[in-house]
Amino acid sequence: KFFLRANTYTDSLADLGFEPAVTANGYYSLSLTQTDDGWTATAVPNGSPQDTDTTCVSFSFDQEGRKRAVDDEDADTTDLCWR
């Protein structure tokens, strides 16, 4: 909807109604990054208990629906974490 109204992507979750930028249970902090061809949304642990998970440290997806997850060494764990 934002793109249709503004004719541009945003990197502000507040523009999209997400304030504060955390999941409902508070386990993950959320961020939004503009890219050359769209955007990427990312979730990272926001304290306990998720910060002890070393396999699925960061989750992301983009405007094309491409999903990605990485572990604490930045290795791709997409198939394991996005089920």
The pLDDT tens digits for 44-75 are 999 888 889 999 999 999 999 999 999 999 99
What is the mean pLDDT of the segment spanning 3-21? 72
Query: Does the pLDDT value for residue 40 go beyond 80?
Result: yes
Residue 38: band (very low, low, confident or very high) from pLDDT cuts 50, 70, 90: confident
Residue 74 vs residue 10, higher pLDDT: 74
**Rounded to an integer, what distance in angstroms lies between the CA atom of residue 30 and that of residue 35?**
16
Residue 1: band (very low, low, confident or very high) from pLDDT cuts 50, 70, 90: low
Nearest Cα neighbor of 30 from 73, 59, 54, 52 is 59
pLDDT score at 13: 74
Nearest Cα neighbor of 38 from 61, 18, 54, 15 is 61
**Rounded to an integer, what distance in angstroms lies between the CA atom of residue 78 and that of residue 13?**
24
